[in-house]
């Protein structure tokens, strides 16, 4: 905090920072896993900050939650069983359960306090927590995936924090092998893959690890995310045995639920890759 009442997050590795004008800190606690703060802001609603890094704002979270869920769900022909690793703010869970074909959505979050604070300060993100198709587990997602029944899932969404602390083990080949084993043929893994501008080496490592784990097809979709470093973020999709170039475009056009960002045209646009990223990522 500065004397001007701003919350600032500095990114030394990128030589940049982002700030939000705030009015008060509503909550702060150290859990067994991380430090969590909730702030009230003048223009962005509530802010959730974990270990001094911005996680969620009321105003712009829809970019991330929609792009972490709908591209995969409209690419899979009929995703009946979805698992979210992390995702404690429950926004991705809410978006997944907008799809009627989903019969089961399991959220595996290691830190229960993230979810309980989201229920208190971001209730709009948690409106599907009591859906009968939802199951909230507060356990180690890495261990859960390693023990998951083979070929029992259609989509795995890794909605994690940065690859430090509790999330460090969610970005390596060993974890991706567990995901591959748990997915049915045609199943899709979605990994939040950081900023293409600020974290390109990490993004390359993610794709290398996915390929090493045995995934045959990968696509990195980019989208705006104002509250994250550089304001430009990505989700990398990997598929078991099937290409990722096509999606159910008609289904996306005729979707029976509201979104703020995602639609069929956005999906098509996100499949296009900027020249520098194409040169860096394509074999």
DSSP secondary structure string for all residues of 51-74: TTEEEEETTTHHHHHHHHHHHHHH
Q: Does residue 113 belong to any structural domain of this protein? A: yes
| 165 shares a domain with 44 | no
Give the total number of structural domains in the chain.
Answer: 2
Q: Tell whether 34 and 161 lie within a shared domain.
A: no
For residues 195-207, average pLDDT? 93
Beta bridge partners of 281: none
For the chain, what is the mean pLDDT? 93
Length of the chain: 283
Q: Confirm whether 260 is domain-assigned.
A: yes
Distance in angstroms (rounded) separating the CA atoms of residues 91 and 46: 14
- Average pLDDT of the segment spanning 200-206: 93
Is residue 194 located within the same domain as residue 252?
yes
**Co-location of 94 and 195 in the same domain:** yes
Least confident of 73-87, 116-130, 157-171, 250-264: 157-171
Q: Check residue 160 and give its pLDDT.
A: 83
What pLDDT, on a 0 to 100 scale, did the predictor assign at position 2? Answer: 46
pLDDT in tens, 61-113: 999 999 999 999 999 999 999 999 999 999 999 999 999 999 999 999 999 99
pLDDT at 216 over 90: no
Strand partners for 7: 20
Q: Are 45 and 121 in the same domain?
A: no
Same domain for 271 and 161: yes
Identify whether 26 is part of a domain. Answer: yes
In angstroms, the CA 28 to CA 47 distance is: 12
Asked if residue 192 belongs to a domain, the reply is yes
> Which CATH number characterizes residue 99's domain?
3.40.50.150
276 in any annotated domain: yes
pLDDT at 68: 98
Strands (E), the chain: 6-11, 16-30, 35-41, 46-50, 53-57, 81-86, 104-108, 134-137, 153-159, 183-192, 217-224, 232-239
Residues 6 or more apart whose Cβ sits within 8 Å of residue 15: none
Are residues 43 and 123 located together in one domain of the fold?
no
Range of the domain at 88: 61-281
Q: Are 216 and 260 in the same domain?
A: yes
pLDDT, mean of residues 140-164: 90
Choice among 159, 205, 243, 246 that is catalytic = 159
CB of 61 closer than 8 Å to CB of 125: yes
Residue 1 lies in a domain: no
The C-alpha atoms of residue 232 and residue 224 are separated, in whole angstroms, by 5
Q: Is 89 a catalytic residue?
A: no
- On whether both 164 and 221 belong to a single domain, the answer is yes
Say yes or no: 45 and 66 in one domain. Answer: no
Domain CATH for 29 = 2.30.140.10
The model's pLDDT over 112-132, given as tens digits with 9 standing for 90+, comes to 999 999 999 999 999 999 999
Mark whether 269 and 205 lie in a shared domain: yes
Q: Provide the CB-side half-sphere exposure for 271 (13 A, CA).
A: 14
Q: Is residue 194 part of a domain?
A: yes
What is the mean predicted confidence (pLDDT) over 184-193?
96
Side-by-side strand order, sheet with 104-108: 134-137, 104-108, 81-86, 153-159, 183-192, 232-239, 217-224
Tell me, yes or no, whether 65 lies in a domain: yes
Same domain, 237 and 263: yes
């Amino acid at each position: 905090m500065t004397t001007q009442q701003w919350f600032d997050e500095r990114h030394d590795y990128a030589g940049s920072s982002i700030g939000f004008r705030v009015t008060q800190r509503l909550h702060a606690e150290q859990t067994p896993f991380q430090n969590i703060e909730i702030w009230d802001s003048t223009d962005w609603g509530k802010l959730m900050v974990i270990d001094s890094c911005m996680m969620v704002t009321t105003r712009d979270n829809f970019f991330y939650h929609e792009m972490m869920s709908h591209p995969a769900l409209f690419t899979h022909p009929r995703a009946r069983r979805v698992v979210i690793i992390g995702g404690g703010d429950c926004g991705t869970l809410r978006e997944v359960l907008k799809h009627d074909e989903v019969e089961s959505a399991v959220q595996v979050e290691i830190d229960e306090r993230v979810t309980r604070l989201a229920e208190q300060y971001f209730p709009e993100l948690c409106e599907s927590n009591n859906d009968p198709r939802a199951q909230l587990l507060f356990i180690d997602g890495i261990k859960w995936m390693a023990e998951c029944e083979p070929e029992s899932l259609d989509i795995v969404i890794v909605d994690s924090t940065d690859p430090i602390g509790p999330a460090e083990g969610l970005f390596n080949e060993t974890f991706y092998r567990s995901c591959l084993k748990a997915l049915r043929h045609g199943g899709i893994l979605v990994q939040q893959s950081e900023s293409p501008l600020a974290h390109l080496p990490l993004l390359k490592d993610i794709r290398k690890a996915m390929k090493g784990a045995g995934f045959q097809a990968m696509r990195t979709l980019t989208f705006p995310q104002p509250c994250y470093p550089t304001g430009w973020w990505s989700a990398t999709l990997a598929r078991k045995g099937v290409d990722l170039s096509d999606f159910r475009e008609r289904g996306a056009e005729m979707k029976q639920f509201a979104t703020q960002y995602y639609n069929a045209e956005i999906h098509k646009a996100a499949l296009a890759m900027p020249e520098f990223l194409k040169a860096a990522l394509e074999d």
